[in-house]
Amino acid sequence: MSRILVTNDDGIDAPGLHALARAAVDAGHHVTVAAPARQSSGASASIMAEEEAGHIVVDRRELEGLRGVRAFAVHGGPGLIALVAARGAFGDPADLVLSGVNHGANVGRAILHSGTVGAALTGGLNGAWGAAVSLDVGMHPQTFHWDAAAAAALDVLPVLLERPRGSVINVNVPNNATNRGIREAPLAPFGIVQTTLEERGEHHIRLAVEDLPSVAEPGTDAACLADGWVTVTGLEPVSHVPLGPGPG
């Protein structure tokens, strides 16, 4: 049994968060839920927060179907939540930061901007295992298989927990009741959606999200997900590359 922090970037009331927490509880883990009080998609690993007199605002919550599970609505993003959780804000620090289930896939290098992934990476940076979990609902979903995504996430956790602490994985699940299985896949060069500038005025701009027109590169996480696989990609929280000899 592991101590698990379940968080997300869709907010404390998101059905994907509740499904993931229930799956972790049913698997016998000790679960604490701490998630943004409001939607925080695109927050990456930001540690910005709403403050009152220098304090980060935190509200206790009772979540339906999660009786007895301590839950907190935090007026800050998921990266901040993972950071303060590692410092003991919600009790003993978690062994694992489980982030999701996100409303929409997080594939390709565009995961840099994902708050779901940002929380998992922050957990890994602070000594926990981290897993970001996302459901590929597309642009106009009719149904949402949250429980199937949560079950798939729990299925891959033993692989993660065999790795050293600080290891982080990114998991994407097709929006189906069943899938073809689990496949490790590298990040696609881009994501499966892109942000565009829809409107620009003198005092405002408006962004829009749209599908990328190109076909995903074969073998990447985006391509394997589209083919019905649960994709798993190992991530490094923060690293560096040598720059080579300097001038002179």
pLDDT for residue 209 is more than 60: no
* Per-residue tokens: 76: 């800050």
Q: How far is CA 102 from the centre of its chain?
A: 6
Q: How confident is the model at residue 197 (pLDDT cuts 50, 70, 90)?
A: low
Q: Is the Cα dihedral 161, 132, 105, 19 positive or negative?
A: positive
CA pair distance 41, 200, nearest whole angstrom: 22
Place of tokens 């027109």: 213
Distances 192 to 141, 164, 180, 204 between C-alpha atoms, Å: 15, 30, 20, 26
Condensed to tens digits (0 to 9), the pLDDT of residues 138-164 reads 878 899 999 999 999 999 999 999 999
Output phi, psi for 90, to 5 deg.
Answer: -120, 25
pTM assigned to the model:
0.90
CA pair distance 173, 152, nearest whole angstrom: 7
- CA atoms within 13 Å, Cβ hemisphere of 243: 3
Angle between helices 115-125 and 78-86 (to 10 degrees): 20
Q: Which CATH number does 3-188+219-235 carry? A: 3.40.1210.10
Condensed to tens digits (0 to 9), the pLDDT of residues 210-243 reads 555 567 889 999 999 999 999 999 999 888 888 8
Query: What's the pLDDT score for residue 247?
Result: 62
- Length of the chain in terms of residues written: 248
With CA atoms as reference, report the closest residue to 214 among 231, 183, 189: 189
Low-confidence winner among 49-58, 120-129, 180-189, 234-243 (lowest mean pLDDT): 49-58
Q: How far is CA 62 from the centre of its chain?
A: 22
Domain chopping of the chain, boundaries: 3-188+219-235
CA pair distance 176, 113, nearest whole angstrom: 25
Query: What's the pLDDT score for residue 119?
Result: 97
Condensed to tens digits (0 to 9), the pLDDT of residues 61-103 reads 999 999 999 999 999 999 999 999 999 999 999 999 999 999 9
Amino acid found at 108: G
| Cβ atoms 234, 168 nearer than 8 A | yes
Q: How confident is the model at residue 22 (pLDDT cuts 50, 70, 90)?
A: very high
**How would you label 135-157 residue by residue, b for 16+ Cβ within 10 Å and e otherwise?**
bbbeeeeeebbbbbbbbbbbebb
Place of tokens 């590692």: 86
* Per-residue tokens: 226: 């589209």
CA pair distance 168, 237, nearest whole angstrom: 7
Query: What's the pLDDT score for residue 41?
Result: 81
